[in-house]
């Protein structure tokens, strides 16, 4: 379906939960997180029903995210529901990887096509510091398990934070050189726990790329499966590739093809637009599929032409990324 800016909306990100087993410093506060009750979030069956209705409007790609999606029980069950919906041709997952390895085979059998791992440091102590509690070895195990299971393309997302992990950029490049991994460098955004790190920590993609090119030859590549906003480059002699995601320095809103469903059934046109259409209430009230379709159309129509995140530094964004679905 086309929105009013002629963008073809065919991708829905679903937040399975606002809960997480980590507390990344830029994303969640250490304590005082008010989690949604089990009653206020959509059931897996409700999520699958909404995907079916969305698929009838042209949604073809689904990404499961959160919070940490794998802290929710029965994710393979949800994936198998979605995999059976005609018109859905791609199911992907964004995860911190800590719970992935044990579930990997089940997820794949259920129909998961691809996985993105979020990983901001390859140094165990720094990883523990930024996540406040994570165990890096679990994430590494998860990444190799995904490669083993041929869940290509396996992507690694690194949020580059000046003064914290910019000294590891080359180590991440080396991961893409040695393994068939797609490493994406993401600009730090003014969402989440802004009281922690501020604008001066944001390193523009252009600077990251220029720094890498001091040591490596990069060749622009056609986009890798996933239809995402990254610009990809192949690495001379490398197994994988590098990508740069620049929501801040070069917003990709003109190509944005996504809508977002929160765990409590709020449908959003944009991560940074606070307006939501409430689908949970519609489901509870017994609305028909046609009525729910109208609500999807309303959210898609309301999708703004672009975000204004650059104005957001210093404010505390009331709804955080882990609540909307990163």
The site for ligand SAM, by CB under 6 A, has a size of 20
Q: Which does 188 bind (CB under 5 to 8 A by kind): ligand SAM, ligand SF4, none?
A: ligand SAM
Burial class of residue 238 in the structure, from the number of CB atoms within 10 Å of its CB (0-12 exposed, 13-18 middle, 19+ buried)? buried
User: Cβ 65 to ligand SAM, closest distance in Å?
Assistant: 5
Q: Which does 11 bind (CB under 5 to 8 A by kind): ligand SAM, ligand SF4, none?
A: none
Which residues of the shown chain bind ligand SF4 in the complex (CB under 6 A)?
A: 20, 22-24, 27-28, 66-68, 96, 118, 322
Helices (H), 179-304: 205-213, 279-284, 289-301
Q: How far apart are CA 168 and CA 212, in angstroms?
A: 11
Q: How far apart are CA 283 and CA 291, in angstroms?
A: 10
91 part of the interface to ligand SAM, by CB under 6 A: no
One residue of 81, 172, 188, 296 binding ligand SAM per CB under 6 A: 188
Nearer to ligand SF4, 22 or 104 (CB): 22
Residues 6+ apart with CB under 8 A from 166: 160, 203, 208
Residue number closest to ligand SAM, CB atom: 326
Nearer to ligand SF4, 300 or 324 (CB): 324
The stretch near ligand SAM (CB under 6 A) out of 55-63, 65-73, 162-170, 292-300 is: 65-73
User: Cβ 209 to ligand SAM, closest distance in Å?
Assistant: 17
Task: Collapse the DSSP code of 258 into the 3-class scheme (helix H, G, I; strand E, B; otherwise coil) and give the result.
Answer: strand
User: Cβ 130 to ligand SF4, closest distance in Å?
Assistant: 8
Work out whether strand 181-187 and strand 241-245 pair parallel, antiparallel, or are unpaired. parallel
User: Cβ 18 to ligand SF4, closest distance in Å?
Assistant: 8
Can you read off the two tokens belonging to residue 199?
């604008």
Nearer to ligand SAM, 15 or 53 (CB): 15
Residue 117: CB atoms within 10 A of its CB come to 22
One residue of 82, 107, 136, 321 binding ligand SAM per CB under 6 A: 321
User: Cβ 127 to ligand SAM, closest distance in Å?
Assistant: 12
CB of 197 within 8 A of CB of 25? yes
Residues 6+ apart with CB under 8 A from 287: 295
Write the DSSP assignment of 18-71 as a string of letters.
S--S---TTTS-SS---PPPTTTSPPHHHHHHHHHHHHTTT--EEEEESS-GGG
Q: How far apart are CA 116 and CA 155, in angstroms?
A: 5
User: Cβ 323 to ligand SF4, closest distance in Å?
Assistant: 9
User: Cβ 112 to ligand SAM, closest distance in Å?
Assistant: 14
Nearer to ligand SAM, 298 or 308 (CB): 308
Query: Which residues of the chain form contacts with ligand SAM (CB under 6 A)?
Result: 20, 26-27, 65-66, 68, 94-96, 118, 157, 159, 186, 188-189, 191-192, 321-322, 326
């Amino acid at each position: 379906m086309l929105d009013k800016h002629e963008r073809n909306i065919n991708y829905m990100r679903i937040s399975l939960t606002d809960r997480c087993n980590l507390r990344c410093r830029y994303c969640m506060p250490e304590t005082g997180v008010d989690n949604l009750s089990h009653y206020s979030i959509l059931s897996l069956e409700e999520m699958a029903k909404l995907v079916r209705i969305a698929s009838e409007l042209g949604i073809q790609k689904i990404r499961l995210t959160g919070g940490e999606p794998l802290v929710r029980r029965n994710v393979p069950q949800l994936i198998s529901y979605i995999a059976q919906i005609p018109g859905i041709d791609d199911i992907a997952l964004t995860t911190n990887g800590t719970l992935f390895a044990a579930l990997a085979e089940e997820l794949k059998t259920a129909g998961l096509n691809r996985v993105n791992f979020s990983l901001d440091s390859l140094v165990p102590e720094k990883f523990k510091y930024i996540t406040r509690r994570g165990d890096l070895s679990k994430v590494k195990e998860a990444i190799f398990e995904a490669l083993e299971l041929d869940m290509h393309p396996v992507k690694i997302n690194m949020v580059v934070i000046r003064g914290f992990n910019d000294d590891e950029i080359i180590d991440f490049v080396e991961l893409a050189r040695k393994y068939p991994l797609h490493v994406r460098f993401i600009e730090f955004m003014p969402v989440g726990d802004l009281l922690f790190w501020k604008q001066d920590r944001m390193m523009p993609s252009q600077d990251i790329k220029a720094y890498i090119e001091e040591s490596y030859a990069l060749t622009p590549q056609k986009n890798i499966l996933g239809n995402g906003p990254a610009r990809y480059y192949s690495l001379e002699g490398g197994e994988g590739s590098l990508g740069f995601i620049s929501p801040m320095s070069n917003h990709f809103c003109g190509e944005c093809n996504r809508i977002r469903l929160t765990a409590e059934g709020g449908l959003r046109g944009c991560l940074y637009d606070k307006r939501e259409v409430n689908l949970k209430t519609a489901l509870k009230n017994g609305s028909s599929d046609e009525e729910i379709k109208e609500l999807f159309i309303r959210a898609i129509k309301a999708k703004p032409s672009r975000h204004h995140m650059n104005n957001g530094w210093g404010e505390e964004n009331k709804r955080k990324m882990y609540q909307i679905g990163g």
